[in-house]
């Protein structure tokens, strides 16, 4: 599944900005079935509706791409009052993941051979010098202009990194079920669309493990080049802080508990 700010992609259901393009996609991919689900990551209500619709339509979920994003936008708030870039790039994706993880676990339980992965896209901005002091600034994520637009973008991309690190940590070894679930994480660098997409596709399709394969909770640059996490991106205290804050905030808007294996 691939998520965008307004729409949702599923592993065998591809979506374009215009529904009329679905015929061209059918011809190119040879997929007979293409479903388009509305998804606005600036609205947690929309995220819930989308996840619910997917859950009712589908009996499995193999691949979740968290690749939507806005960058350096004018000051604004999401529907629920989060800083716009943080709300879309982090909060919307966090709720979507939380609501779809049970379907991914179900997929792995019902089909032990299923290769189930989550691939997230961030940016080198997560390591930028214009991050808020200390890395996280959660106390002002209800303000639209607490930092510069690029500073807020970097903040949201750091949140992507920390969030996925925590996801990998809370499911350390559930008899192969969740070790398969979170096998791939990728953050793209500032390259063109085609080049950037290659790293996501590599993380979604390359063999798992080994010297040249995909490793869980790693940061990959195009294409398939692992980069060591340092500084605030590798800070466990910040990772835990973001996790607790995010879950508390999501609970106020219908978020659920993460499944216990």
Any idea which residues carry the catalytic annotation? 153
CB atoms inside a 10 Å sphere around CB 245: 15
Report which of 63, 61, 64 is spatially closest to residue 110, judged by C-alpha positions: 61
Question: 19: which residues sit within 8 A by CB, 6+ positions away?
Answer: 36
Tell whether the torsion through CA atoms of 4, 7, 13 and 17 is positive or negative. Answer: negative
C-alpha span between 221 and 186 (Å, rounded): 7
Helix (H) or strand (E) holding 227: strand 225-227
Helix and strand numbers, DSSP H then E, in the chain: 8, 7
**Can you read off the two tokens belonging to residue 36?**
């388009």
Question: 238: which residues sit within 8 A by CB, 6+ positions away?
Answer: 135, 136, 162, 232
Based on C-alpha coordinates, what's the Rg of the chain? 17
How does strand 2-3 pair with strand 225-227? unpaired
CB distance 245 to 239 below 8 Å: no
Half-sphere exposure of 51 (CA within 13 A, CB side): 24
Query: Position of tokens 């490793």?
Result: 215
C-alpha span between 163 and 171 (Å, rounded): 13
């Amino acid at each position: 599944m691939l998520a965008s700010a307004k729409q949702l992609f599923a592993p065998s259901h591809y979506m374009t900005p215009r529904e009329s393009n679905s015929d061209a996609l059918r011809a190119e991919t040879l997929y007979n079935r293409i479903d388009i689900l509305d998804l606005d990551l600036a609205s947690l209500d929309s995220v819930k509706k989308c996840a619910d619709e997917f859950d009712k339509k589908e009996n499995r979920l193999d691949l979740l791409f968290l690749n939507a994003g806005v960058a350096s936008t004018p000051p604004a708030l999401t529907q629920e009052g989060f800083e716009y870039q943080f709300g879309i790039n982090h909060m919307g994706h966090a709720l979507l993941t939380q609501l779809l993880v049970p379907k991914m676990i179900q997929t792995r339980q019902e089909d032990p051979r299923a290769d189930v992965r989550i691939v997230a896209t961030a940016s080198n901005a997560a390591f930028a010098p214009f991050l808020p002091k200390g890395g996280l600034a959660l106390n002002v994520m209800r303000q639209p202009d607490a930092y510069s637009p690029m500073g807020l973008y970097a903040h949201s991309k750091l949140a992507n990194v920390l969030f996925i690190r925590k996801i990998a940590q809370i499911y350390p070894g559930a008899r192969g079920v969740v070790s398969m679930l979170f096998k791939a994480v990728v953050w793209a660098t500032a390259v063109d669309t085609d080049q950037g997409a290659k790293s996501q596709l590599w993380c979604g399709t390359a063999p798992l493990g080994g010297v040249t394969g995909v490793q869980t909770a790693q940061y990959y640059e195009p294409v398939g080049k692992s980069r060591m996490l340092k500084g605030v991106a590798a800070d466990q205290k910040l990772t835990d802080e973001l996790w607790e804050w995010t879950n508390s905030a999501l609970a106020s808007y219908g978020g659920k508990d993460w499944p216990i294996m």
